[in-house]
Amino acid sequence: MPLVFTAFESEVKVNDETLEGLQAIEYRVVKNRRDVGAIGTDERIAVYFGMKLVTGRLRLASGNTKLDDFLRDNTKFSVSVTHREGEETERLVSFDDCYIDDKAFALEFERHGETVYSFTATRMREE
Q: What is the pLDDT of residues 52-104, one digit of tens each?
A: 999 999 999 988 999 999 999 999 999 999 988 777 788 999 999 999 999 99
The reported pLDDT for the residue numbered 113 is 92
Question: Rounded to the nearest 5 degrees, what angle is found at the Cα of 77, between the Cα atoms of 116 and 19?
Answer: 50
The reported pLDDT for the residue numbered 31 is 93
The number of CA neighbours under 13 Å toward the Cβ of 27 is 20
More confident residue, 90 or 13: 13
Burial 64-88 (b: 16+ CB within 10 A, else e): beebeebbeeeeebebbbbbbeeee
Which has the closest alpha carbon to 71: 104, 96, 94, 93? Answer: 104
Q: Do residues 25 and 58 touch, judged by C-beta distance below 8 A?
A: yes
The reported pLDDT for the residue numbered 97 is 97
The reported pLDDT for the residue numbered 1 is 62
